[in-house]
Amino acid sequence: MGRTSDTPVSVVEHLQRTRADRPTHECLLDENGTWTYEALACDAARVAGALAEVGVARHARVAILLNNSPAFAISYLAVAHIGAIPVPLDPLASEHTLRLILADCAPCAVVCEAETAARLAALPPIDSVRAFFSPGADAGPSDVWDLPIRDFTTALQENALRPEPDRVDADEVATIVYTSGTTDVPKGVMLTHRNLAALIRSGVQTLGVGRDDRIGHILPLFHLYGLRELQIAIAVGATLVLSTQTGFPASLLAWFERQRITGFPGVPGHFALYLGRYRDRLAALGGDLRYILLGTAHTPPALLDDLRSVLPRTRIYKTYGLTECGRVTTGDFTSPDTPASSVGPAAPGVDVTVRDADRREAARGEIGRLFISSDMVMKGYWQRPEDNAEVLDGRCFRTRDLGYIDDHGRVHLVGRVDEMINTGGEKTAPWEVELVLRQHPSIADAAVVAVPDEDGVLGQVPKAFVVLRSGVTLDAEDVRKHCARHLESYKVPRKVSFLARLPETTLGKVPLHALKRLD
């Protein structure tokens, strides 16, 4: 399907329209500077000119290895401006992961800070890369793999404006976002302009984001959950408030208070942290803060209660999504009457069905695998036809998530298909053991994974990682006895390890492969 109207198709077209509508309105800012819509569009167009000069063309991939910053937004929009495909990546990913991903997506250019350039210089060259760009003239190598590093600052001064961005079709690939790889190697998720337009619509409809909103942004822009906020802000003409102080909550929250943010998307861990030691600073946002959005990880009911009491005038939303499907659900949890165990109803335009092992649709309340259909479902994984055949059926994506839908249409997540522990043929869902563990008064949090049975008889056995509440003591045998009182014997963890806290990815998810490597 091609274009049917003058409705903006791409983020660049949204930017052009908003620039024409409100050129002097703040689009993006951090502690070091502010970009109006006019300034952002101009800078992106100039950098697009610099990219085109070195041969970056339509459909070519450009890896963007930058932390959250205006430079990220300028680079992303510049790549999109010429119809090329931005591939945002974590600049602090391990060398192994970076090498894996760069070899996979074969970018023709890389945008990165000097420090990342130095790390890449130590790796074997990626043949596809023909140019390096840096957003500043920081000290660092002058070239990588015998390619000079070009400074964007020069491009901003010297290159002529490009008058019009390339026209794109809604079903062309707009960006490739790599999955976080909590259970597998990272895969490149191809998202089209149509996918991103649906993602924007979903945010606008469920959260009511509008042109007067100022979104406090701490989520990594190299993940879709964070990238969405940039797309939404540009599409509706809102303001995205970034910060260089995300690691220092006192400074961050004071900055957000001064900036009078109205929206604050994050992960539960962020808000648990603020409620613990920065309660007053979080409460101080309440005068302007219209909504909080909690995503990517389980939200304990106590955290919701605490947020309600500290921010009584702020709406509290929970959302569930996947890189492959955008946002799947968004629910309003402002009222304490909303069951905290759900992740809300399907977002507008999203169809969620629960299916059993034979792909028959499950009854309400029955646990099965979640299938998602919507305009947000990806075009496919980059160069992975076998994986695509396994998970995609047209616009329908077969997730690995297990859950059920209650009588009110709310989706409940209970675990993942591939997390099931097979102990001599008996199956255990980790969430079931985790639930029992969290019921123990001395246990603050827990995660359960499958590990090989050391005797080699049972195949896999459950292993628990337990975080104790402060000031209590408990040993492995106490934990096992507690489980034995509530679970079948094969579900009782054979091994128990105690951790100060569970490891988390940059988005607050527990990386199971990392747990399996721990003693």
User: Is position 115 an interface residue for another protein (rule: CB under 8 A)?
Assistant: yes
**Which letter does DSSP use for residue 483 in this model?**
H
Residue with tokens 């980790």: 430
Residue 4 burial (10 A CB sphere; 0-12, 13-18, 19+): exposed
Which region, judged by CB under 8 A, interacts with another protein, from 3-11, 53-61, 124-132, 268-276? 268-276
Total residues found in the chain within this entry: 519
Integer Cα distance of 475 and 191 in angstroms? 48
Integer Cα distance of 412 and 367 in angstroms? 9
User: Is position 119 an interface residue for another protein (rule: CB under 8 A)?
Assistant: yes
| CB closer to another protein out of 346 and 447 | 447
Which region, judged by CB under 8 A, interacts with another protein, from 11-19, 205-213, 443-451, 500-508? 500-508
| CB closer to another protein out of 96 and 485 | 96
User: Is position 463 an interface residue for another protein (rule: CB under 8 A)?
Assistant: no
| CB closer to another protein out of 277 and 427 | 277
Phi, psi for residue 346 in degrees, rounded to 5: -55, 140
Least distance to another protein, CB of residue 248, Å: 6
H-assigned helices in 210-313:
224-236, 249-258, 268-277, 279-283, 301-310
Beta bridge partners of 30: 33
Which region, judged by CB under 8 A, interacts with another protein, from 204-212, 276-284, 312-320, 358-366? 276-284
Q: Which of 427, 501, 513, 516 binds another protein (CB under 8 A)?
A: 501
User: Is position 94 an interface residue for another protein (rule: CB under 8 A)?
Assistant: yes
Total residues at interface with another protein (CB under 8 A): 24
Least distance to another protein, CB of residue 251, Å: 6
Which region, judged by CB under 8 A, interacts with another protein, from 41-49, 219-227, 271-279, 355-363? 271-279
Least distance to another protein, CB of residue 181, Å: 15
User: Is position 277 an interface residue for another protein (rule: CB under 8 A)?
Assistant: yes
| CB closer to another protein out of 1 and 500 | 500
User: Is position 95 an interface residue for another protein (rule: CB under 8 A)?
Assistant: yes
Q: Which of 33, 148, 276, 312 binds another protein (CB under 8 A)?
A: 276
Q: Single out the residue of 411, 313, 420 nearest to residue 371, CA to CA.
A: 411
User: Is position 265 an interface residue for another protein (rule: CB under 8 A)?
Assistant: no
Integer Cα distance of 428 and 449 in angstroms? 10
Cα separations in angstroms, 55 against 61, 63, 479:
12, 15, 61
User: Is position 124 an interface residue for another protein (rule: CB under 8 A)?
Assistant: no
3-class SS at 151?
strand
| CB closer to another protein out of 273 and 472 | 273
Least distance to another protein, CB of residue 317, Å: 22
Q: Single out the residue of 397, 414, 2 nearest to residue 189, CA to CA.
A: 397
Q: Which of 442, 503, 510, 511 binds another protein (CB under 8 A)?
A: 503
User: Is position 510 an interface residue for another protein (rule: CB under 8 A)?
Assistant: no
Own/partner contacts of 267-270, CB < 8 Å, gap of 24 or more, are 267/219, 267/294, 267/295, 267/296, 267/297, 267/507, 267/508, 268/294, 268/297, 268/298, 268/299, 268/300, 268/303, 268/508, 269/297, 269/504, 269/508, 270/218, 270/508
User: Is position 270 an interface residue for another protein (rule: CB under 8 A)?
Assistant: yes
Integer Cα distance of 199 and 326 in angstroms? 6
Integer Cα distance of 222 and 176 in angstroms? 10
Q: Which of 124, 163, 247, 425 binds another protein (CB under 8 A)?
A: 247
User: Is position 92 an interface residue for another protein (rule: CB under 8 A)?
Assistant: yes
Q: Which of 128, 251, 388, 422 binds another protein (CB under 8 A)?
A: 251
Q: Sign of torsion, CA 263 267 270 271?
A: positive
DSSP of 385-436, one letter per residue? HHHHHHHEETTEEEEEEEEEE-TTSBEEEEEEGGG-EEETTEEE-HHHHHHH
User: Is position 469 an interface residue for another protein (rule: CB under 8 A)?
Assistant: no
Least distance to another protein, CB of residue 278, Å: 6
Contact set with another protein (CB under 8 A): 92, 94-95, 115, 118-119, 245-251, 269-270, 273, 276-278, 281, 500-501, 503-504
